[in-house]
Homo-oligomer: A and B are copies of this chain.
Amino acid sequence: MRQKVTLKMLSLELGLSISTVSKSLKNDPEISQATIERVRKLAKERNYKPNALAVSLKSNKTRSIGVIIPDILNNFFAKVLLGIEIEASKNNYKIITSISNESFEKEKEYLDMLSYNGVDGFILAVSQEAQTKGEFDHFNEVLKDDIPIVMFDRVADDVYCDKVIVDDKKGAGDAVDKLINSGCKRIGVVSTIQKLSVGKERYEGVERRIKSYEKETKILKLKKTKDYEEQIADFVKDNNYDGIIGLDETAAVSAVNAANILGLKVPEKLSVIGFTNGILSRHSYPKLTTVSQHGRRMGSLAAKILIDKLELRAERYLPETKVIKTSIIERGTTSN
């Protein structure tokens, strides 16, 4: 750690007391203008910066935010992280990034460790394991200690905290509309995320909308044991689909590639629409039409909410749930 300039050093050099120096730097009206200027001048010269650790110890605030992410290799989460980071840095907050790797244990551990002495609040997406197990006590414990949490994307309904989610059901419905308008008659769904709440949510949205067209659909839950492309190719062939909705980016891109295997032209013979407007979607061939969750915006919004709560703690208002609207990014796997 850097050899620091302290208040003590400044006070010694100026022949003033530590407290006078401290007050001067805060422009305390008690102090004469002349002194304030002398102090500030030297402080600037010496490049004085307060010791954040000492300030934190005193104030019980660290100006840091714990971010717990299930999977950093997932482009969506990377986007959210970026959004959080930008907003935090704007407000002079640091972020401590932890990766739960979808594990309940790790999530709990991080929550525990960081809440104890490290962060003023959390931003997180619930791990898959916690979600399947329905274990949410670890969140409530943190909240009980008055450390705010903002959940995004994957949230726990039973936990009473701020949330930022996406209207997945509606987005899924829009995806159906898009395919229907592209002229699709038979639409199938493929997914690698049916264990997650978002996956279920999206499928529900698809199903409902499909029904409104008096049609039916089926879902293919992709298995890791076999090539996604092949599973999808079989699925499309067997059901004679001309439209595929991929509930996550991987599934959707795999569907596009499956068309290649089958020799089906996209979008002429097979239309595809995916979720998550990530890097994969922009680099498939043809480029994928997707329902965008606006991950970055989601991240910055979550950070904004948390920081607001942290700063104007005074009136502790009630938790709110913000819903981000999805939008369809039209590219080459659907036609108009």
Q: Which residues of B contact A81 (CB under 8 A)?
A: 72, 97
* A125 to B279 alpha-carbon distance, docked (Å): 21
Q: Which residue of B lies closest to A49 (CB)?
A: B116
The number of residues on chain A lying at the interface, defined by a beta carbon within 8 Å of a beta carbon of chain B, is 56
Q: Which residues of B contact A115 (CB under 8 A)?
A: 1-2
For residue A290, give the distance in angstroms from its CB to the closest CB of chain B: 14
* A25 to B257 alpha-carbon distance, docked (Å): 60
Copies assembled: 2
Known: A260-B285, A283-B254, A284-B283. A51 touches B114 (CB 8 A): no
For residue A105, give the distance in angstroms from its CB to the closest CB of chain B: 12
Q: Are A117 and B82 in contact (CB under 8 A)?
A: no
* A94 within 8 Å of B (CB atoms): yes
* A64 within 8 Å of B (CB atoms): yes
Bitwise interface map of A from 163 to 191 toward B, beta carbon under 8 Å scored 1, else 0: 00000000000000000000000000000
Which of A55-63, A127-135, A319-327 faces chain B?
Answer: A55-63
Q: Are A64 and B116 in contact (CB under 8 A)?
A: no
CB-CB contacts below 8 Å: A236-269 with B: 250, 253-254, 256-257, 260
For residue A5, give the distance in angstroms from its CB to the closest CB of chain B: 10
Known: A52-B117, A85-B97. A73 touches B279 (CB 8 A): yes
Q: Are A285 and B285 in contact (CB under 8 A)?
A: yes
Q: Which residues of B contact A14 (CB under 8 A)?
A: none
CB-CB contacts below 8 Å: A41-61 with B: 49-54, 56-57, 60-61
Q: Are A257 and B283 in contact (CB under 8 A)?
A: yes
What are 28 A-to-B residue pairs whose CB atoms are below 8 Å?
A: A1-B60, A1-B147, A2-B115, A2-B145, A2-B146, A50-B117, A52-B117, A53-B53, A53-B57, A54-B57, A57-B57, A67-B97, A72-B85, A73-B75, A73-B78, A73-B82, A85-B97, A85-B99, A86-B99, A89-B98, A94-B118, A95-B96, A229-B285, A253-B283, A257-B283, A257-B285, A260-B285, A279-B280
